[in-house]
Amino acid sequence: MGFIIKPLVTEKMTKITDKKSNRYGFLVSPEANKLQIKEEVEGLYKVNVEDVNTMLYAGKRMARYTKAGLVKGQKSAFKKAIVTLKEGETIDFYSNIE
């Protein structure tokens, strides 16, 4: 378990969930498959998942100029999952914030 890293609460994801209120986005482990993501979302949030779409993003090479010279590095690869819930079900990400 532990395939879900964090829910995605960005401006773009908010637009998607406003249009179709039963869709939610998660940042997941790149090794996770759709079945594992579905089972974990159902277990964590006690909802019924209808569909899972995944997107795999490759890492990017980055360079930055500093006083010491050129510093090269790489951003990590990551995977997004868009989860569609059954009609009438919702996930409240803000319920446990005090």
Sequential DSSP letters for 23-89: EEEEEE-TT--HHHHHHHHHHHH---EEEEEEEEE---EEEEEETTEEEEEEPPPEEEEEEEEPTT-
26-37 pLDDT, tens digit each:
999 999 999 999
| Residue keyed to tokens 């009438």 | 88
Give the global pTM.
Answer: 0.81
2-54 pLDDT, tens digit each:
899 999 988 988 887 776 678 999 999 999 999 999 999 999 999 999 999 99
* Contact between residue 13 and residue 26 where contact means Cβ atoms under 8 Å apart: no
The arithmetic mean of pLDDT across residues 73-86, rounded, is 93
User: Comparing 98 with 67, which gets the higher pLDDT?
Assistant: 67
According to the model, what pLDDT value does residue 14 have?
Answer: 84
Q: Which one of 2.40.50.140, 3.30.70.330, 3.30.750.24, 3.40.50.150 gives the CATH number of domain 4-85?
A: 3.30.70.330
Domain coordinates of the chain in residue numbers? 4-85
Percent with pLDDT over 70 in the chain? 92
Residue 94: pLDDT over 90: no
Tokens found for residue 52: 């899972």
